[in-house]
Structure 1
Amino acid sequence: MELSYWELKNWFTNVDYTIVGSGIVGLHAGLRLRERFPTAKILVLEKGMLPEGASTKNAGFACFGSISEIMDDLKTHTEEDVVQLIEKRWKGLQLLRKRLGDDVIDFRPYGGYELFLKEDEFGFNECVNRLPFINEILKPLFKAEVFTKEVDRFGFENIQEYLIFNPFEAQIDTGNMMQELLKQAVAANVLILNQQTVTSYTDTGNYVEVVLDDFSFISKKILFATNGFANTLTKGAVMPARAQVIITEPIANLDIKGTFHLDRGYYYFRNVGDKILLGGGRNLDFETENTTEFGQTKIVQNKLEDLLKNVILPNQDFRIAHRWSGIMGVGNSKKPVVLQLSENVFCGVRLGGMGVAIGSLIGTELADLI
């Protein structure tokens, strides 16, 4: 890379903080660093044309988890850890809304619903029986009953008679969210360079040498906000998890409004105006879906179309307009990894598919490690 004197001077000289990743976490970290260090030189490096991982590729759920997901978490985490994580998700959503504004992100508080398939009678009964307990442990946080049983009024088929409703969940427009975050970062004099891949780095103790494809520069500190792409960085504590998503063409007289979950959160759908967006299915083939490669597979795509046809939009014509995928970061624990890795190297990763909810908080915590 042949750089001019001007380019070196303005972008790569006297860099205080380099942030790798321009998603929700990275930009919130940049904005928080700017609040704390008004004169610092802050540089964000992004390997994609747009934020590469899941920040612009998610389903736009402003949520803290379905009841079956919470119960699943209770099998592998303590009650205290589960409640703390839900609190983090809730506070993160409030921080996101406060920073960006509900109008900008098209925040729509339609509530959230969980469906249970006909064959999942055991899972349904288990959730209904545990409903009072889950409401009890969440009451100090929400000061109200979170989950209630409701009769299906949407015309779904092949499901249990009742849905479980949560009035606190909502939808947002992910594209609007990231555009506004980018605008705020630029307005705060946070420098952002796209199509830049950090290939290696060396912490000398006094500074970090940051190596790009064919160029290196010096930064006082480096902060990694690369989530699903942080496997080598965290020595395996973060695994990539691909999520496949489809969206339909507009559907006449669509009467579905809200965010919906199925099967412990492994499937999720919502309306986007008069379209249906549906994603998930990585539990069909975990091994294949633990990848940093974008793309679709037949097993997942067929299942998503089957759910649309036989559960979500029965007896309705629909056409798939678009398919895509995003890369999340998951691990043995759902607790995010916010760590100082060495003297001048930090990371905020492993958001466990909860990036919209906790990304703003994790970005802030990452910046506050400095």
Structure 2
Amino acid sequence: MKLSYWEHKSWFSKVDFTIVGSGIVGINCAISLKKKYPHSNILILEKGSLPQGASTKNAGFACFGSVSEILSDLEHHSKEEVGRLVQKRWDGIQRLRSLLGDEAIGFQLHGSHELFPLEKPEFYEKCLASIPYLNGLMAPVFGQNPFVTNQNLFNFEGIQEKYITHQLEGQLDTGKMMRSLIQKCMSMDIPILNGVLVKDVFESNNQATIVTDDFEFLSKKVFVATNGFASKLIKSETVKPARAQILVTEPVKNLHVKGTFHFDEGYYYFRNIDNRILFGGGRNLDFDSEETTEFGETQIIQNKLEALLHNMILPNHPVKIERRWSGIMGVGKQKSPIVKQVSDSIFCGVRLGGMGVALGSLVGKELAELAD
């Protein structure tokens, strides 16, 4: 397809900054660029009708790392690295709340609770014993000891008698958050073009050429913010896709569950939303199959989620599933995001490691700062 004179003039000529991906990172990058360069011409390209990936498909957890997740991270990173990563997650959520306001993102601070299945008593005891050490490590980030223990307040079955609660983790409404980000973007005269698949980006005479399915154009700088799909455009960085499957129940009468919950080192997670239970995870059941950029659900994971829902979360309580979906995250051997200059005019902010809600706002800001 050839662009008309009007199309080229209105959208694709004299472009200062192009952002590929309209998720949390991409939109925050665009907002930061517009604040710093108010007269710049900024364009966001999105291949989906909605942000494709995880930004509108996540579980809406404002989380920073459970006890078991942090212990696992400490096996592969120094305590300084882990501290910096948790600090970034904390700063990212605070920036998102400050940018949009708690009401606009549906933020609620109910705390989060890590549950421990009965079949792993040694691991449970290890996590309990680590609380004083981890509180000492994390107190400088949060300004207080984040971890406390609680009894089984919600009467889940098949778990140890105590939860480990992170007092400062919360939850938000993913749809409200993304609508608010998009509205803010549009109010700043930053267009988002949906249904535009970027196939390639390369250097061309001190600027970048962007090749789409239908046409190509020039941009002074390009910021790739496609996370789990990043390897298709940024060959130099290792970002593996990781599919996350989720289900949500029909409304549950007198639902007593409130907060966010994790177990099995964060591979399973659930929460309350609109008198329903939203439950996701199970990627560890079949890592190979879930390392994909294809959306969809699998029987092995969906059956496990349903079994845990009926037997552990809502025992003896008949409930029906209303909806199932999946999202694509970007992961790697390191938990820290990749925010870097790839070439003279191409930059990337990717590999958010399943913590996009917490990290996305800050990563977008850091990505924009590379334009200096």
Same structural fold, with TM-score higher than 0.5 when normalized by the shorter chain:
yes
Alignment partner, residue 115 of structure 1: 115
Q: Is the 8 A contact 1:15 1:220 kept in 2?
A: yes
If the length of structure 2 is used for normalisation, what is the TM-score? 0.98
Q: Deviations over 1:197-249 (max 9, x none)?
A: 11112202411111111211111111100000012414351000000000000
Q: Is the 8 A contact 1:247 1:275 kept in 2?
A: yes
Give 1:273 shift: 2.3
Describe how 1:268-279 pairs up with structure 2 within 5 A: 268-279=269-280
Whole-Å separation in 2 of the counterparts to 1:152 and 1:143: 27
Whole-Å separation in 2 of the counterparts to 1:26 and 1:215: 21
Whole-Å separation in 2 of the counterparts to 1:130 and 1:153: 22
Name the Cα RMSD after superposition: 0.9
| Change beyond 3 A, Cα 1:64–1:234 | farther
Letter in 1 for 2:86: I
Q: Structure 2: which 5+ residue stretches go unaligned?
A: none
Q: Deviations over 1:258-290 (max 9, x none)?
A: 000011110000000210000001011000000
Letter in 2 for 1:339: K
Letter in 1 for 2:160: Q
Q: Is the 8 A contact 1:16 1:42 kept in 2?
A: yes
Whole-Å separation in 2 of the counterparts to 1:161 and 1:201: 54
SS in structure 1 of the partner of residue 17 of structure 2: strand
Alignment partner, residue 204 of structure 1: 204
Q: Is the 8 A contact 2:110 2:258 kept in 1?
A: yes
Alignment partner, residue 230 of structure 2: 230
SS in structure 1 of the partner of residue 75 of structure 2: helix
Whole-Å separation in 1 of the counterparts to 2:4 and 2:63: 46
Alignment partner, residue 52 of structure 1: 52
SS in structure 2 of the partner of residue 104 of structure 1: helix
Whole-Å separation in 1 of the counterparts to 2:237 and 2:19: 21
Whole-Å separation in 1 of the counterparts to 2:150 and 2:13: 60
Describe how 1:268-347 pairs up with structure 2 within 5 A: 268-347=269-348
Q: Is the 8 A contact 2:2 2:214 kept in 1?
A: no
Relative to structure 2, which stretch is displaced further, 17-26 or 195-204? 195-204
Alignment partner, residue 162 of structure 1: 162
Whole-Å separation in 1 of the counterparts to 2:266 and 2:29: 28
SS in structure 2 of the partner of residue 32 of structure 1: helix
Alignment partner, residue 62 of structure 2: 62
Q: Deviations over 1:139-188 (max 9, x none)?
A: 11222121111110101000001011111011100000000100111111
Letter in 1 for 2:350: V
After superposing on structure 2, the runs of 4+ consecutive aligned residues of structure 1 that deviate more than 3 Å are none
Describe how 1:9-158 pairs up with structure 2 within 5 A: 9-158=9-158
Alignment partner, residue 355 of structure 2: 354
Q: Is the 8 A contact 1:205 1:344 kept in 2?
A: no
Describe how 1:244-263 pairs up with structure 2 within 5 A: 244-263=245-264
If the length of structure 1 is used for normalisation, what is the TM-score? 0.99
Q: How many residues align?
A: 370
SS in structure 2 of the partner of residue 175 of structure 1: helix
Letter in 2 for 1:363: G
Letter in 1 for 2:363: I
Q: Structure 1: which 5+ residue stretches go unaligned?
A: none
Whole-Å separation in 2 of the counterparts to 1:40 and 1:215: 22
Q: Deviations over 1:19-41 (max 9, x none)?
A: 00000000000000001111110
Whole-Å separation in 2 of the counterparts to 1:25 and 1:7: 26
